């Protein structure tokens, strides 16, 4: 067998007072149209997952993060969406601190930000995001949906 390259996704898990920040994906988004999802993006070539989360938080929502305040709390490993698609490693980082209030800065990707009770997430949420949030609440650090 040969090693398969993987797409790395950096995800920001913000929780305060039992509320989790989710954004509604634009209906025409390539991934997850009209679904709720945590702030996320793909790591660019030669970019760490931490740097990806810091960059995406600023670009998408105007939130300023220090990588030193981020802790890896969950990893989702899933197959690609087709037979030739690369598998995906989705890394969820919890921020101990941040500066700013979430703003819609990329309306073509996200149409609104909303704080949801962790125990009452919306029904129309990205499935692996729901699985990750549930696992984080249970103290589990790894999920691998979709593998047979």
What is the mean pLDDT of the segment spanning 9-27? 97
Q: State the pLDDT confidence band at 13, using cuts at 50, 70 and 90.
A: very high
Whether residue 148 is contained in a domain is answered as no
Task: With H, G, I as helix, E, B as strand and everything else as coil, classify residue 61.
Answer: helix
Query: What is the rounded end-to-end Cα distance, in angstroms, of the chain?
Result: 17
List Cα–Cα distances, 89 to 34, 74, 95, in angstroms.
22, 10, 19
Which of these, 2, 3, 13, lies nearest to 90 by C-alpha position? 13
Digit-coded pLDDT (tens) for 48-83: 999 999 999 999 999 999 999 999 999 999 998 877
Whether residue 47 is contained in a domain is answered as yes
Whether residue 63 is contained in a domain is answered as yes
**Per-residue pLDDT for 20 more than 90?**
yes
Global model pTM greater than 0.85? yes
Whether residue 139 is contained in a domain is answered as yes
The domain in which residue 139 lies consists of 7-143
User: Token digits for 49?
Assistant: 């997952």
Find the CATH number of the domain harbouring 23. 3.90.79.10
Digit-coded pLDDT (tens) for 82-108: 778 899 999 999 999 999 999 999 999
Residue 133 backbone phi and psi in degrees, to 5: -65, -40
């Amino acid at each position: 067998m040969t090693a398969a390259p993987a797409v790395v996704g950096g995800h920001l898990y913000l929780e305060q007072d039992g509320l989790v920040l989710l954004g509604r994906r634009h209906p025409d988004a390539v991934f997850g149209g009209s679904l709720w999802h945590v702030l996320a993006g793909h790591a660019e070539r030669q970019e760490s997952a931490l740097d990806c989360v810091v960059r995406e938080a600023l670009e998408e929502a105007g939130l300023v993060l220090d990588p030193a305040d981020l802790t890896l709390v969950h990893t989702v490993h899933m197959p690609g969406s087709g037979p030739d698609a690369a598998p995906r490693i989705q890394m969820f980082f919890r921020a101990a601190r941040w500066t700013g209030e979430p703003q819609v800065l990329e309306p073509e990707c996200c149409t609104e930000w909303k704080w949801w009770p962790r125990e009452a997430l919306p029904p129309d949420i990205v499935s692996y995001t729901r699985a990750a949030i549930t696992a984080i609440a249970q103290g589990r650090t790894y999920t691998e949906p979709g593998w047979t």
